[in-house]
Amino acid sequence: MNKPLEGIRVVECAFFVAAPSAGLNLADWGAEVIKVEPIYGEPGHRRDADGRIMTRDEYFNVYNRKKKGIALNTKDPRGMEMLYRLLEDADVFLTSYRPGALVKMGLNWEVLHEKFPKLIYAAITGFGDEGPEKDAPGFDTVAYWARSGLMQDVINRGNDVLIPPVAFGDLTCGAALAGAVGTALFNREHTGRAEKVTLSLYGLSLYSLSYMVFDVQTGGNYPASRLEPALPMMASFKCKDGKWFYMANVDHEKHYADLMRMLGREDLVEDERFKSRTAAQENREEFICMLDAEFARYTRDEVLDILKRADIAHSTINHVADNLRDPQAKANDYLKIMHMRDGVDVYVPSTPVRFGTSDMEEAGMGPLLGEDTLSVLTAAGYTAEELNHLAKENVIVGRQV
367-370 own/partner pairs: CB under 8 Å, 24+ apart: 367/35, 367/64, 367/67, 367/68, 367/69, 368/69, 368/399, 369/37, 369/41, 369/45, 369/53, 369/69, 369/71, 369/397, 370/37, 370/39, 370/69, 370/70, 370/71, 370/396, 370/397, 370/398, 370/399, 370/401
**Ramachandran class of 258: left when φ > 0, alpha when ψ lies in -120 to 50, beta otherwise:** alpha
Report which DSSP code applies to 238.
Answer: E
179 three-state secondary structure: helix
Phi and psi at 316, nearest 5°, equal: -65, 150
215, containing H or E segment: helix 210-215
For the question of residue 160 being annotated catalytic, the response is: no
d(CA 277, CA 271): 12
Q: Is the separation of the CB atoms in 369 and 53 below 8 Å?
A: yes
Concatenated DSSP letters of 322-362: GGGG-HHHHHTT-EEEEE-TTS-EEEEEPPS--SSS-----
Catalytic residue among 48, 170, 215, 345: 170
Give the active site residues: 170
